[in-house]
Amino acid sequence: MTDFFDNWTVQVRKGILEMCILTALKDRERYGYDLVKSLVGVPGLGVTEGTVYPLLSRLRKHGLITSRLEESSEGPARKYYSLTDEGRDAITSMDAHLQTLIKGMNTLKRKGT
């Protein structure tokens, strides 16, 4: 049971991780370190830096996010990420799809009772 649940959470986490990254960038641009730390702090997401950076690279290649480098007076140069228009459309679609899924699942739960 535990193995099954662990495996299931891995699948859920992976499925939702990209949406979480896009959501984190929805309101403002964030530099990599800040973004990663905020995602690492999300309970249950179980994400590490090793997971986030390859995903950011992939999302950038898909044109959902864009990045720029900026010198920082407090430390090393920072790479800021922000959503592109495609990214905003994608998050809207993903959100709508997720809500549909949750709604359907709730309907199933009610029928079950």
Partner 1 sequence: MAKWTNSAKAEWKTYGIRLREALKGSEADVAEVEEDLKRHVDEEAHAYGLTIIDGDWLRQTLGRIGNLEVPENTPQTALPSQESMAKNAKPANIKGSLPFGLLLTAVVWPSASVVIELMSRFCTGVLFDPMPSMWHVAMLVFVPIGNLLALVWMHQKEESIPRWVPFVISFNLGVSFVYSMMFLPITPIGVVAIIYFGFGLLGLTPLAAWISGMVLWKRFRLEMQRRSLKVVSVWPGFFMALGLLFVLETPELITRIGLRWADSTEASTRDRGVRWLRFIGQEDTLLRACYERPRRIFDLSGWLVQSNDQVTQEDARRVYYQVTGRPFNSVQPPNLYTRDGRWDVLDQEFTWEFDAALGGTAVAGRVSGLEMTASRLDTRIETSSACAYTEWTMEFKNDSRRAREARAQVLLPPGGVVSRLTLWVNGEEREAAFGSRSQTRAAYQTVAVERRRDPVLVTTSGPDQILVQCFPVPANGGTMKIRFGITAPMNMSDLTHGRFRLPALLERNFNLQDKLKHGVWIESRSQLSGAEHLFKHSMLKEGDHALHGELVDRDLIHPDATVRMERPDAVQQVWTDAMEAGHVILQELKFTPSETTDMTVIVVDGSVSMSKYAEEVRQALTDLSSMEKVWMAIASDQQSPFNINGAPRFLPLEEALQHFDDFKFRGGQDNIAYLLQAWDRALEMGADNVWWLHGPQPVLIGNSASLLQRMERTRGNIVLHAASMEPGPNRVLEALDGWHIRRVPRYESIADHLSAWIKEPGTLDPENKFRRSMEPKNSVTNLVELPRVSRHIERLWARDKMVRLRNSRKTEAATELATTHQLVTPLTGAVVLETMEQFEEMGLSPVPLETVPSIPEPGVVALWFVGMMTLMLRLRKRT
Q: Work out whether 96 is an interface residue with partner 1 (CB under 8 A).
A: no
* The pair of three-digit structure tokens given for residue 44, joined into one six-digit string: 């249950």
CB closer to partner 1 out of 81 and 83:
81
CB closer to partner 1 out of 76 and 112:
76
Per-residue DSSP letters for 44-111?
TT---HHHHHHHHHHHHHTTSEEEEEE--SSSS-EEEEEE-HHHHHHHHHHHHHHHHHHHHHHHHHHH
Q: Comparing C-alpha atoms, which of 22, 15, 37 is closest to residue 101? A: 15
Q: Work out whether 50 is an interface residue with partner 1 (CB under 8 A).
A: yes
Candidate list 2, 4, 5, 54; residue touching partner 1; CB under 8 A: 54
Crossing angle of helices 49-61 and 32-40, in 10° steps, is 120
Candidate list 8, 12, 26, 57; residue touching partner 1; CB under 8 A: 57
Q: Work out whether 88 is an interface residue with partner 1 (CB under 8 A).
A: no
Q: Work out whether 48 is an interface residue with partner 1 (CB under 8 A).
A: yes
Crossing angle of helices 85-112 and 2-24, in 10° steps, is 140
Q: Work out whether 27 is an interface residue with partner 1 (CB under 8 A).
A: no
| List of residues contacting partner 1 (CB under 8 A) | 10, 14, 32-33, 36-37, 40-41, 48-51, 53-58, 60-62, 74-79
